[in-house]
Structure 1
Amino acid sequence: MKAAILIGGQGTRLRPFTLDAPKPLLPVLNRPFLEYQFQVLRKSGVREVALCTSYRALDFRRAFGDGRRLGLRLRYVRETMPLGTGGAAKNAENLLLGGTSLILNGDVLNAFDVRAFLSFHRARRAEISIALTRVKDPTAYGLVLTDAKGLVRRFLEKPSWDEVETNTINAGAYLFEPSVFSHIPAGKTYSLERGLFPERLAAGAVLAGWVAPGYWIDIGTVDKYLQVHLDILGGRTPFKPGAGVRALKGFEGAIVAAGAGAHVAEFARFSGAVSLGRGARVGRGAQLSDCVVLDGAVVGDGARLERCVVGARARVGTHATLGPGTALAGGSRVGDYSQL
């Protein structure tokens, strides 16, 4: 089976970090986020992957090349204008010939069994199967309602609590039979979620919804980008940090992962889970709790950081404070004793 990953978005909700890199290439524990999805594909036997690019498309070629070092064969297709999820998938049609295709959203991490998904899809003889995940607050998402056999019966967009009948949402992974592509217009902006899926359901096509067990997260916001680090460090996922990451010892009750060349001065204190990028430096007496400090950033003496993300090469001044939700752009500077 071949796969396509939709990675053309600009990642506006993850700015300022996506001003310098596309969202799927942002580092998560010193490994590009997309490499975790590659791990899932490789483990499931998928070897050919089409990357559907648009924003900063060349960055992906520089990062992954032809995919050999990852155990994959990567091919690239680029949108010259934004085409939405449907148009991006249509662009990859010629690279997905030969059978059922797996389509993935590039900003979602699914730790699921692709083979089990495919078996479900074939058993239902579906034209399209949608991987689903369960959420605590279904009013924040579009819901997918299925029957007892797992066949899709209805789509419900961001319901009120009195309309909620399920908590299963689209998890951003799909299986397509080859015929599906004939229903996607070429060269036009078109949505899988708001166009293709409800239209095919209304036309009587068989759509199935498979509730995927295991870890799932959409890293589309700064809060979720921070959370995926905390989840991996906290052992809540099957994923491991990238090569060269070492666990720092001697910080009781904290999990600290440091990239190559990271340095922590004496009397620094950590709590929760903290990720330090390559060459990051933490000053004397600094206090860090549940935060991410990206490559080459410097945290000054006595600074305090809590549930925040510090961009690459940023400078946090002596005794400065960064509070929950702070997203400090790469290369920026926070003055001594500042509070954000």
Structure 2
Amino acid sequence: MKAMILAAGRGERMRPLTDTTPKPLLPLQGRPMLEHHLERLARAGFRDVLINTAWLGEQFPQTLGDGRRFGLAIHYQHETQALETGGGIQRALSWLGPDPFLVVNGDVYCELEFNALPQLGQQDLAHLWLVANPAHNSQGDFALNQGRVQAQGEAKLTFSGIGLYRPELFARCAPGRFPLAPLLREAMAQGRVGGTALEGHWCDVGTEQRLIELEQRLNANLG
């Protein structure tokens, strides 16, 4: 299975830190945040990873190289203008191939080990990991009911930014800039999205304060 890490965002809420460094490359425990994902992917047996870039995109290969030091082959997809999540994935489909693939947001931290991924149901187009709602997304995104993800429900959870997808999810999409969420909601309406509640710590590192708090938490766990 191939994996894609989404790293093309501008990181406006983390300025001025992101004026000179892309958000996924900001340091976490003394090394670029993205390396935590790369190491987990390598431990799980992944070998081919695509990283899409836009803002300060040249820094990614300069920092991460070709992936050999992680035991990976890293490929890069540079976007002159960020294509949003859906557009970035759609552009990568020719590289990702015909089989299901894993997509991970480059600006989240999680303790999910990728070596025990579920099999997509025969009719499923996606499988999402959901987490308890953080303070900055208290209303949640989607409901999880007996392993199925629904757009509506009383007890919504937050989409973690980690999902398995079939390329067929994007079959009717034209190249260009577009979000992922409408595609997922359409698939949910057809009953074609599975889901899992993600266990272990997860953080959307969207602000400098969250990055500081995550660093403190991880350092405390080491003590």
Partner of 1:144: 142
Quote the Cα distance in structure 2 between the aligned partners of 1:109 and 1:136: 13
Q: 2:197 aligns with which of 198, 211, 216?
A: 211
CA contact (8 A) 1:127 1:180 kept: yes
Quote the Cα distance in structure 2 between the aligned partners of 1:46 and 1:197: 25
Partner of 1:126: 124
Give the helix-richer structure, 1 or 2: 2
Between 1:177-186 and 1:4-13, the stretch displaced more is 177-186
Q: 1:78 to 1:136 in 2, by over 3 A?
A: closer
Quote the Cα distance in structure 2 between the aligned partners of 1:155 and 1:45: 35
Quote the Cα distance in structure 1 between the aligned partners of 2:214 and 2:131: 16
Which structure has the higher relative contact order (CA within 8 Å, separation 6+)? 2
Give the aligned residue type for 1:199.
Answer: E
Correspondence 1:98-137 to 2 at 5 A: 98-116=98-116, 118-119=117-118, 121-122=119-120, 125-135=123-133, 137=135
TM-aligned CA deviation for residue 179 of structure 1: 1.4
Q: Which secondary structure state, in structure 2, belongs to the residue aligned with residue 234 of structure 1?
A: helix
Give the aligned residue type for 2:219.
Answer: L
Note the alpha carbon deviations across 1:78-110, whole angstroms, 9 max, x for none. 112221110011111112114110011110112
- TM-score normalised by L of structure 2: 0.92
TM-aligned CA deviation for residue 65 of structure 1: 1.5
Partner of 1:39: 39
Quote the Cα distance in structure 2 between the aligned partners of 1:64 and 1:173: 21
Give the aligned residue type for 2:5.
Answer: I
Structure 1, gaps ≥5 residues long? 157-164, 241-254, 256-340
Structure 2, gaps ≥5 residues long? none
Q: 1:113 to 1:155 in 2, by over 3 A?
A: farther
CA contact (8 A) 1:184 1:196 kept: no
Quote the Cα distance in structure 2 between the aligned partners of 1:22 and 1:139: 23
Quote the Cα distance in structure 1 between the aligned partners of 2:79 and 2:139: 27
Quote the Cα distance in structure 1 between the aligned partners of 2:109 and 2:139: 17
CA contact (8 A) 2:142 2:159 kept: yes
Partner of 1:3: 3
Quote the Cα distance in structure 1 between the aligned partners of 2:156 and 2:187: 22
What is the percent sequence identity of the aligned residues?
31
Give the aligned residue type for 1:24.
Answer: P
Q: 1:223 to 1:175 in 2, by over 3 A?
A: same
Note the alpha carbon deviations across 1:254-299, whole angstroms, 9 max, x for none. x6xxxxxxxxxxxxxxxxxxxxxxxxxxxxxxxxxxxxxxxxxxxx
Partner of 1:223: 209
Correspondence 1:169-188 to 2 at 5 A: 169-187=158-176
Quote the Cα distance in structure 2 between the aligned partners of 1:25 and 1:225: 12
TM-aligned CA deviation for residue 201 of structure 1: 2.4
Q: Which secondary structure state, in structure 1, belongs to the residue aligned with residue 51 of structure 2?
A: strand
TM-aligned CA deviation for residue 146 of structure 1: 2.1
RMSD: 2.0
Q: 1:190 to 1:218 in 2, by over 3 A?
A: same
Does 2:166 correspond to 1:166? no
Partner of 1:153: 150
CA contact (8 A) 1:142 1:155 kept: no
Give the aligned residue type for 1:200.
Answer: A
CA contact (8 A) 1:130 1:210 kept: yes
TM-aligned CA deviation for residue 206 of structure 1: 0.6
Partner of 2:178: 190
Q: 1:209 to 1:144 in 2, by over 3 A?
A: same
Partner of 1:72: 72
Correspondence 1:227-238 to 2 at 5 A: 227-235=213-221
Q: Which secondary structure state, in structure 1, belongs to the residue aligned with residue 9 of structure 2?
A: coil
CA contact (8 A) 1:138 1:166 kept: no
User: Between Structure 1 and Structure 2, whose CA radius of gyration is higher?
Assistant: 1
Partner of 1:267: none
Give the aligned residue type for 1:172.
Answer: G
Give the aligned residue type for 2:150.
Answer: R
CA contact (8 A) 1:3 1:101 kept: yes
